[in-house]
Amino acid sequence: MDVTLPQAMSFVSIGRSNGDEAYFAPPITTVDPNPQEEMRMAFDQVLDFASSKPRTLLSTPSLVVRESVIDLVHTQ
């Protein structure tokens, strides 16, 4: 069974984007969850152990769009 990307389906990888994804055929779109920011927030939480108030911690992931996702805007 042959499946062509992105004509038959789109493909997105989740993980640390280290640039290797650009060398696949087609280059893979990647969601980078920003683990450095997550670790910084976790350490800030640990260092502020005196505060007993609950918190919601949100990090901002980045999206590296490459050719493995169909372009719905410009598709007929």
**8 Å CB contact between 65 and 26:** no
The residues spanned by each domain of the chain are 12-64
Tens digits of residue pLDDT in 24-51: 888 889 998 888 898 999 898 888 877 7
> Torsion over CA of 28, 71, 76 and 24, rounded to 10 degrees?
-10
pTM of the entire predicted model: 0.68
